[in-house]
Amino acid sequence: MHIDVFNGDADGIFSLIQLRKVKPVEAEQQVLITGVKRDISLVKQISAEQARGAAITVLDISFDKNNTALQPLLALSDSVFYCDHHQAKSVFSHPKLTALIDTAPTVCTALLINQYLDNAQPLWAVTAAFGDGLDKPAIALAQQLGLTGEQQAQLKQLGMLVNYNGYGACEADLHFAPAALYQQLMTYDTPFAVIADAQSPFAVLKAGYDADLAKARACQPLRDDAAVLAVQLDNAPWAARISGSYGNILAAENPDKAVVIASSNADGSLTISLRAPKNNPRGAADICSQFPTGGGREGAAGVNALAPSELARFIDCAVRFYS
């Protein structure tokens, strides 16, 4: 049995697509464990019965957030392959564990998988990097592949749309459940085939994205100075869906500023997305880790449940760091 655990965003989905295109697994031999982008403590969903003798693959979720759940599974499983680019201070060695982790702000999991697979499915890696907001590495790989500017724009749009689909308080907020989206996209040979097919998820995601982005653009900033641009979105499912994509857009438009996006959770708390300045891509994980339920990577991080009374303090922390 193969258990594939992956983040429900563009990076997680396209990482697994690359891997399973090169190392295919029959559907009846594959267990998929994923969820909304913010649901990163996924390894704990693997039962002892499932783990026994299984080959476990974990993609694009923080090692630190899954360390405790992973350890007992190693004794039961056949092997664990763990690839990620988020903060990982608790990595350990084990005979059954292969850990491919790089927290540099210029990489994402799909780019690491592309290297691991010797460039076997690079179009999916380019698409993932664009979706994760890593335009420079995406363009660099695209140019190595000889892609035209128009082709790069197409892959960027698909990456952004799949990443957009991962954001929500629960899977009911999303246009496609991440596992179902992975399964649909796996049926296409290339990302360009997805874009060309009028019946693919591309059209549905494009329509939803355009509508949600227009609403986000209408929200006035909480703060906009030389160091930080902070926006609080309305309390609605559309806001949860667009929060990550809007953060990436504002970060690209304001490369010298950190970008803070706040959206509401059902329990009254706030989800925070923090993008470090494009021209200074560091510190995001350290800032978010100061708050309960916070974490991420150097260039982009977040807090899953921030008390509304703490929002001003969070923004002040970002201002102090990036000023």
Q: Please count the other Cβ atoms lying within 10 Å of the Cβ belonging to residue 315.
A: 21
Domains of the chain: 2-206 (3.90.1640), 219-322 (3.10.310.30)
* Average pLDDT, rounded, for the chain: 95
Q: Residue 89: is its pLDDT beyond 90? A: no
pTM: 0.84
Q: 157-200 pLDDT, tens per residue?
A: 999 999 999 988 889 999 999 999 999 999 999 999 999 999 99
- CB environment 80-101: b (16+ within 10 A), e (fewer): bbbbbbbbbeeeeeeeebebeb
Rounded mean pLDDT, 99-108: 94
Return the closest-CA partner of residue 322 out of 263, 259, 262, 231: 259
Query: Is residue 130 a contact partner of residue 156, using CB atoms and an 8 Å limit?
Result: yes
Tokens (6 digits) for 47: 């039962």
Determine the pLDDT at residue 231.
97
Instruction: Give the residues across from 261 on adjacent strands.
Output: 231, 273
| Each residue's pLDDT tens digit, 203-235 | 999 999 999 999 999 999 999 999 999 999 998
